[in-house]
Amino acid sequence: MLKVEKVHKKFQARPVLQEVSLTVGPEIRVIIGLNGGGKSTLLKIIAGIVAADAGRVWIGERDVTGFSSEDREVGYVPQHPALFRHLTVRENIRYGLKNGRGSAAMVDRVIALLALAEVLEKKPEVLSGGFQSRVSLARALASGPKVMLLDEPLSDLDLAIKEALLPEFKRVLKALALPVLYVTHDPWEAGLVGETFSVLAQGNLFQIESAAEAFEIMKKNGFGSLPAVR
């Protein structure tokens, strides 16, 4: 279980997150919002990369608010794969085992789930964008995280590749039964990968029923009509 309680964050006196609260069980929760709306900041606060001004983060039974990012047992997939160019695919994935996290068995499992066996000895520079995204996900999962955070992980890819990869990502994430937060500005993308949905707008998080509802809300810019999650 992932729980965020009343998180606040400002940058240069500009409110980015205002009393943001949410609870995520073993599901894929998609947070949809405009670029620059605070989605990445929220993920970085949960991961321990950025400190909140106020509020708390719980992972399972642990209040991890004061923990370093290394001690939170969070898998984080950034917007760009950021793979180590001098390492093979196998070595990149096994990098997730640093600090004693994960296991060889988990490495083998994610390699199988993401169909990476044929590229294990290749370097990232010779892989397609789709394969690089798979390797980035595999590296995060290999560490055996208790929570997965994905920050628009397919933003570098074209529509056709996204359409092929999103159901695959969903299948893999569901197989591992983790709390997952996936952020995007695209309701179409959200609909392909998500199970539950929220909108982040004007620093507030709103619960919605579907990605289609997010599309209508964003089109009409009617964020203020939604009840905030508290």
pLDDT tens-digit readout, 28-62: 999 998 888 899 999 999 999 999 999 999 999 99
What phi, psi does 175 have (nearest 5°)? Answer: -65, -30
CA 48 remoteness from chain centre: 13
Task: State the pLDDT confidence band at 99, using cuts at 50, 70 and 90.
Answer: confident
Cα–Cα distances in Å, from 16 out to 22, 56, 201, 229?
Answer: 16, 16, 9, 16
Q: Which residues contact 12 (CB under 8 A, 6 or more apart)?
A: none
Helix axes 129-142, 104-113, angle to 10 degrees: 150
pLDDT tier, 147 (very low <50, low <70, confident <90, very high otherwise) = very high
The encoded tokens of residue 16 equal 């980015």
For the cut 90, the answer to whether the pLDDT of residue 92 exceeds it is yes
Q: What is the mean pLDDT of residues 84-90?
A: 96
Residue 214 has pLDDT above 80, yes or no: no
How much of the chain, in percent, has pLDDT values that exceed 70?
A: 93
Model pLDDT, residue 225: 45
- pLDDT of 113 higher than 90: yes
> CB–CB of 197/180 below 8 Å?
no
Site of tokens 């590749």: 161
Radius of gyration of the chain (CA): 17
pLDDT digits (tens, 9 = 90+) for 164-206: 999 999 999 999 999 999 999 888 899 999 999 999 988 899 8
- Closest by CA to 31, choosing from 194, 208, 198, is 198
CB atoms near residue 29 (< 10 Å): 20
Mean pLDDT of the chain: 90
Half-sphere CA count of 153, side-chain side, radius 13 A: 30
Q: Residue 83 pLDDT more than 80?
A: yes
List of domains in the chain: 1-73+146-230 (3.40.50.300), 81-145 (no CATH)
Asked whether residue 228 carries a pLDDT value surpassing 60, the answer given is no
